[in-house]
Amino acid sequence: MNRDQMIEELSKIVGKENVLFSETDLLLYGYDASLFKAKPDCIVLPNSTEEVSQIVKFAHREKIPIVARGSGTNLSGGTIPARGGIVIHFSRMNRVLEIDIKNQRAVVEPGVFTLTLKNQLARYGYVYQPDPASERVSTFGGNFGENSGGPHCLKYGVTTNHVLGAEIVLPDGEIIWVGGKALDHPGYDLTGLLVGSEGTLGIATKLVLRIVPKPEAVKTMLAIYNSLEDAGRTVSAIIAEGIVPATLEMLDRLTIKAVEESIHAGFPLDAEAVLLIEIDGLKDGMERLAERIIEICKENRAREVKAARTEEERAQLWAGRKGAFGAVARLRPNYLVCDGTVPRTKLPEVLTRVMEVGKKYNLPIANVFHAGDGNLHPLILFDERNEEELKKVHLAGSEILKICAEAGGTISGEHGIGTEKKKEMFFVFTPKDISAMRKVKRAFDPEDLFNPGKVLPEVQT
């Protein structure tokens, strides 16, 4: 089928104004927050599950690939239309359908921004806990696709722990429900399988989420260090004591510099690292817990630990953390965000090795990450116009993931595999493991039409 016919058929489903195909549109939907690019044939903006189902049935009949897209902020090439085809963008399916405080559930469409729901819940004193730093624009469909994390996921768990069910359009266009509002569901845990499947198995058109009351009290501290390793050691010392803070985030010297130049969060420019530590829960006992954390920081050679005294001071510290990726973007034209996870006890050693990789390739590396989860985000700075640097950055990124895998960790904490890390899957999986995953993909999508070319590397048999 040629493109004009495709556009005509899709226009019948969603209306002419909701099918985009100008050169500018194709360019805009051809990239995401990764380093990859490719062009779709067209973009459709459905308004209901029924429309999504009809689009998918049409694509299935005509063997056209489909890529589901939220805001395109994923960092692994997950929304790159690698084989062209149709991009389904969920910007019109952006309704919060239900907030059920009594049962602590919310139901949303996939195009709702994470922060939009949080703002609505705040009125009731409730919260949806996972908080990707991109929450102003990250959508629930994208969070579902990537099993996204965030600073508060150390204590509360990542997306998969908060998505209880979903309405799903399968690759043949059929609509099913997995999970639901109840706490447990008999049969296979298809919700668990689909969360994090990067749009390769099914497309979520409604999501049932767990919401919880806001904690009674919160305390935010900033521990300042003259050494990255000491900050890393503090992280495992706090957890080893049996304390699980709500967040335990680390920023290194280069990130601090970038943040202070643009956001002025109050991080000291001469520090090698800072830890942003937040505890929450009941008021009773909170001061005692904070004192113990401060002691642990000092035992691990923190040179100072400051506590936010007002909500404004707390917001300022968080603005520094949440704006860190953007701030680092000012240092060089491009950066590659690596996303590897290591056992917390390995943080000091792995951070040293990461910085050695930067020296080896002569590329600056800034670190800002979910230290409590052992989830590293080395940002490798470069200029993509320099072909030599572009080659080196891919090699350096891959080497860092190898270091994580060798340290007993893995190649993604939250950003997914997408296009970027397919070959690195072999750092943690055998060809047999990958073949088992491919069987799952075939069971759902035998024609390989949903986000083809993502997640799974080819296995030589």
Q: Which residues bind ligand FAD (CB under 6 A)?
A: 32-33, 67-75, 78-79, 90, 110, 132-134, 138-139, 141-146, 148-150, 198-199, 203-204, 325, 414-415, 451
Residue closer to ligand FAD, measured from CB, 53 or 134: 134
Task: Give the relative orientation of helices 387-406 and 347-361 as an angle to the nearest 10 degrees.
Answer: 160
Residue closer to ligand FAD, measured from CB, 142 or 300: 142
Q: Least distance in Å: CB of 166 to ligand FAD?
A: 8
> How many Å apart are CA 130 and CA 152, to the nearest integer?
6
Residue closer to ligand FAD, measured from CB, 237 or 456: 456
Residue closer to ligand FAD, measured from CB, 201 or 296: 201
Residue closer to ligand FAD, measured from CB, 167 or 230: 167
User: Residue 219: which of 158, 89, 307 has the closest Cα?
Assistant: 307
Q: Least distance in Å: CB of 238 to ligand FAD?
A: 20
Q: Least distance in Å: CB of 418 to ligand FAD?
A: 6
N-to-C CA span, the chain: 33
Cβ atoms of 414 and 138 within 8 Å: the answer is: no
> How many Å apart are CA 150 and CA 160, to the nearest integer?
12
> How many Å apart are CA 307 and CA 359, to the nearest integer?
35
Distance of CA 205 to the CA centre of its chain: 19
Q: Least distance in Å: CB of 202 to ligand FAD?
A: 7
Residue closer to ligand FAD, measured from CB, 33 or 456: 33
Q: Least distance in Å: CB of 171 to ligand FAD?
A: 12
Residue closer to ligand FAD, measured from CB, 389 or 414: 414
Residue 109's contacts (CB-CB under 8 Å, 6 or more residues apart) are: 90, 93, 94, 95, 96, 97, 140, 205, 206, 207
> How many Å apart are CA 109 and CA 51, to the nearest integer?
13
> How many Å apart are CA 140 and CA 145, to the nearest integer?
8
Question: 148 in helix, strand or coil?
Answer: coil
Q: Least distance in Å: CB of 291 to ligand FAD?
A: 29
Residue closer to ligand FAD, measured from CB, 166 or 224: 166
Q: Least distance in Å: CB of 102 to ligand FAD?
A: 27
Residue closer to ligand FAD, measured from CB, 138 or 160: 138
Q: Least distance in Å: CB of 262 to ligand FAD?
A: 13
Cβ atoms of 350 and 314 within 8 Å: the answer is: no
Q: Least distance in Å: CB of 169 to ligand FAD?
A: 8
Compute the C-alpha angle 55/60/65, nearest 5°: 85
DSSP conformation letters of 331-350: TSSEEEE--EE--GGGHHHH
Residue closer to ligand FAD, measured from CB, 91 or 227: 91
Q: Which two tokens stand for residue 213?
A: 């009351």
Alpha helices in 300-386 (DSSP H): 311-322, 324-328, 347-361
Identify the H or E element spanning 252.
Answer: strand 247-252
Q: Least distance in Å: CB of 4 to ligand FAD?
A: 26
Residue closer to ligand FAD, measured from CB, 149 or 179: 149
Q: Which two tokens stand for residue 415?
A: 């950003």
> How many Å apart are CA 317 and CA 247, to the nearest integer?
13
User: Residue 111: which of 160, 66, 145, 155 has the closest Cα?
Assistant: 145
Q: Least distance in Å: CB of 50 to ligand FAD?
A: 15
Kindly list the distances between the CA atom of residue 282 and the CA atoms of 27, 102, 183, 279, in Å, as whole numbers in the listed order: 50, 21, 25, 10
